[in-house]
Structure 1
Amino acid sequence: MTNRYVGRFAPSPSGDLHFGSLIAALGSFLQARSNHGDWLVRIEDIDPPREVIGAASRILATLEHYGLHWDGEVLYQSQRSDAYRQVLHQLYQQKRCYYCHCTRARIQQSGGIYDGHCRNLSLPSQDASLRLHVTQPVYQFHDKHLGTLVAEPAFASEDFIIHRKDGLFAYNLAVVVDDHFQGVTEIVRGADLIQPTVRQIALYHQLGWKEPDYFHLPLALNNQGHKLSKQNHAPPLSLDHPLPILAEAMQFLGQSLPDDWQDASIEALLAWGVNHWNHNRVPVTPELTTHFPFSNDSV
């Protein structure tokens, strides 16, 4: 039994890395290295319609260009189908999930939250999604950055999809299976992923696994106040001058810079960042909670 820290960065290859991606990568990297732990990289390529050809290899090349070197082999979710199927089979045999034929239109007509319509119908698998029967909802969780976050009860207790009708594995299933498989002890990621956390913890509990700790980072926003994302056409990270961009990312995370950082190498700047990392200095900004079905009286 080891208490070694294991962190990770898990981008999807739906486009190149941008400044918002760098915040998540750098924050998880500095947290892992300052805890003398491992930092893993996983490519979450389980949604082929959204993938951009060549994005996965460019993501890895960009990380290396910015000095963010990972431990071990890169894990590709597209190669993990057998593990996901095994967990789905286990849950189905234990009657913890069921096939659902409901359309998105029907769910919207009933208020946008699934009402468990197919739960006791024993429907066939053809043209069906697979939903987890959430018997022990998780209504709140402790975030090491934001404190206790409380979810809307209807969202937290909804039976959610773990295998899609189109045959693809759902994000909430794959991320839990892989984080457990890789021994991840803390998930440091962007605040855009706060919302599904209670569902992921509920799945951990259904599987009898210990959930990791969570630390959600502030989001980089564009001039319109929207988060930088591939969907919003955020520009890819420049490979020409990584040093000032890396310094900007460190300052975004509330960290100090050495006086002579302009003359430092990428490696030296990151070493400074690891040695001086203080997660308590990461800003708490309004968008961390206001755009999600959570409340936190301290924010």
Structure 2
Amino acid sequence: MQALSSRPPQDYVGRFAPSPTGPLHQGSLVAALASYLDARAHGGRWLVRIEDLDAPRVVDGADRVILGQLQALGLAWDGEVLRQSSRHHAYREAFDRLRRQGAVYACGCTRKEIADSILHARGYLPAGELPYPGTCRDGLHGRPARAWRLRVPQGRVRVVDRWMGPVEQDVAAEVGDFVLFRADGMWAYQLAVVVDDAAQGVTDVVRGEDLLGSTPRQKILQDMLELPAPRWMHVPVVVNAEGQKLSKQTGAAAIDVRQPLAALEAAWRHLQFEPLQAGEVSAFLAEAVRRWARRWRIGTG
């Protein structure tokens, strides 16, 4: 399959794409379950992709643990599992295409230099992600390249999310030219996910709300690479008692696969459904698919 297929979406193809930095926790199960239910409710395929590009954070054997957890929870995927670590050639192809368009440039800025530039220009640092001020757009001025960035076009990017509704962002102003490739050889998530979704024919992306902010950047890349954009659905994330997103970094516990129904029921309730009483995993998932289809009016014309 070509890395940069531009064919229009055909039948429904969804995917779940965990990073192998540890076992699945309840927060990641919410995204997995929503993605699985949406695919099955559409009568489509559900793929699993291991996003293991960030080698320093990858935990040895975590991919096998994750796949075992999905199997224990009855979340059976279709086809082979794709691993991003085997896809460097595809990311290079996309990168080179953008570079030929004049859309990529080298950047020598450190994070501290970016923060200092923003502080000098604004008098304060905005909360969250720091927008790149374009320091190296006109050249490195003798400094070594630390990364390569995309020249973000001006204008607001609009996407329609199936859960959140219309979303708009001025990426040039709020994010700036974002990184595609680092000098240490690491490809950026934004580029890799766009290339892989196109290569796998993904028509629908169902994932956590924490990734909603990445969507306009991915839409820009899809447009520039002439790739089809999937439909998006971003579901609410699970937070801990302190209001932090549940994650491995905040000490989220691994799913107890000895009690798969309890884990599935908790994820189901977080997706704002009424409790679903079932005696076994297969019965739970079959009824959950029916209710998901009814809520989102899938197959009703």
Give the TM-score normalised by structure 1. Answer: 0.87
Distance 1:123 1:182 in 2: 40
- The number of residue pairs the alignment matches comes to 278
Q: 1:153 to 1:83 in 2, by over 3 A?
A: closer
1:190 maps to 208
Match of 1:20 among 5, 19, 27: 27
Please list every run of 5 or more consecutive structure 2 residues that lacks an aligned counterpart in the other structure.
Answer: 1-7, 119-129, 297-301
Equivalent runs, 1:174-213 vs 2, <5 Å: 174-213=192-231
> 2:103 matched to 1:96?
yes
> 2:235 matched to 1:217?
yes
> 2:289 matched to 1:274?
yes
Q: 1:253 to 1:157 in 2, by over 3 A?
A: closer
Overall identity of the aligned pairs, in %: 44
Distance 1:52 1:155 in 2: 36
Q: Give yes or no for contact 1:98–1:122 (8 Å, CA) kept in 2.
A: no
> 2:78 matched to 1:71?
yes
Could you say what the CA RMSD is over the residues aligned between the two structures, in angstroms? 2.0
Q: Give yes or no for contact 2:132–2:175 (8 Å, CA) kept in 1.
A: no
Q: 1:152 to 1:2 in 2, by over 3 A?
A: closer
Q: With a CA cutoff of 8 Å and minimum separation of 6, indicate the structure with the bigger relative contact order.
A: 2
More deviation, 271-280/81-90: 271-280
More deviation, 113-122/210-219: 113-122
More deviation, 139-148/42-51: 139-148
Distance 1:206 1:124 in 2: 29
Q: 1:120 to 1:173 in 2, by over 3 A?
A: same
Distance 1:246 1:180 in 2: 30
> 2:121 matched to 1:106?
no
More deviation, 89-98/176-185: 89-98
Residues 98-135 of structure 1: CA deviation (Å, up to 9, x unaligned) = 11111111110122321222223277995431101112
Q: 1:54 to 1:125 in 2, by over 3 A?
A: farther
Please list every run of 5 or more consecutive structure 1 residues that lacks an aligned counterpart in the other structure.
Answer: 282-299
Match of 1:33 among 40, 44, 50: 40
Q: Give yes or no for contact 1:17–1:62 (8 Å, CA) kept in 2.
A: yes
Give the TM-score normalised by structure 2. Answer: 0.87
1:205 alignment partner, SS class: helix
The one-letter amino acid paired with 2:272 is G
Residues 123-154 of structure 1: CA deviation (Å, up to 9, x unaligned) = 79954311011125543321111111232555
More deviation, 32-41/143-152: 143-152
